[in-house]
Amino acid sequence: MYGGFSGPAVPTWFATRSGEDIVIQDVEGLGSLPLEGLDHGWLLCWYGKSSFFFGATRSAAETVYGWDGVRIWNSSVYPADCPFLVLFSEAPASLKAEKMGGLSVDPGSGICRVLILPLLGELMPKTDETEKWSAGLPKDIVERCDWWAAHVDRIPEHVQETYAFDPQTDTITLSEKFTLEAFRKGNRTAAPLPPAVATAYLTGFPAIFSKKPEDPQLFTAVGDYLAVPDVDRTRSASRASEST
């Protein structure tokens, strides 16, 4: 993992849960991280001040052409971090940081599958902020890590969408049925809503769901991420007159 990046191949900081405690180590102390709970837990990786990423407070499309546009764009750029959450199907035997080869995972005698996702999605925090995490992860960051670790026993692989309109009730219904793939031992999962529906709902659109979705605070390029826990299908309904 992390091999081939144009900047430092290995993150600077690592954190995992050990019972009620959150254990944080820098790259030099990676070998002392507790690994036995990673078959149902999580590993968070970030760079802090060593990050080679950059974020911007505005998009290039918001600026104007010419030298003034370049000045405005440059003033919006800041040193950014991109925390990655790593989830394992089985607890690895060891983790090793290789200077130019990234993070090496020894699965031991079995097969260890890995899921990697940017914990905050498109949101890239400032390095000044994530550097402070080395002294203790913020509560909301721990909650996000715990949420993902608790909902990936089975993960969505395919989805089938159906749409229906009832003129008698002026209701549009969107139904989604997921095919799930086993990732870990257990049956917990989460069925995501379409990002456009999630964003509309979070901004006040009056949608009704078959079961209340949860918000792990993941921001994608196409909308917000909401998911309904422990189901393989979702159903959302809204009045057509309110959709225009």
pLDDT in tens, 150-160: 999 999 999 99
| Half-sphere exposure at residue 110, Cβ-oriented, CA atoms within 13 angstroms | 11
State how far the Cα of 171 lies from the Cα of 64, in Å rounded to an integer.
43
Q: pLDDT averaged over the chain?
A: 88
User: Which residues are registered as beta bridge partners of 103?
Assistant: 97
More confident residue, 57 or 227: 227
Q: Residue length, the chain?
A: 244
- Mean pLDDT computed over 214-227: 94
Q: For residues 51 and 127, is the Cβ–Cβ distance under 8 A?
A: yes
Reference 215, options 187, 196, 190; nearest CA is 190
State how far the Cα of 137 lies from the Cα of 199, in Å rounded to an integer.
27
Percent of the chain residues topping a pLDDT of 70: 86
Q: What is the pLDDT of residue 2?
A: 52
More confident residue, 145 or 4: 145
Q: Taking 60 as the threshold, does the pLDDT of residue 126 lie above it?
A: yes
Query: Residue 55 CA to chain centroid, in angstroms?
Result: 17
- The segment with the largest mean pLDDT, out of 20-29, 93-102, 200-209, is 20-29
Residue 133 is classified by DSSP as G
Residue 4 — very low, low, confident or very high, per pLDDT cuts 50/70/90? very low
pLDDT tens for 191-213 read 999 999 999 999 998 889 989 99
pLDDT tens for 48-58 read 999 999 888 76
State how far the Cα of 193 lies from the Cα of 226, in Å rounded to an integer.
6
Q: Taking 50 as the threshold, does the pLDDT of residue 67 lie above it?
A: no
State how far the Cα of 55 lies from the Cα of 108, in Å rounded to an integer.
38
**What kind and span of H or E run contains 113?**
none
pTM: 0.86
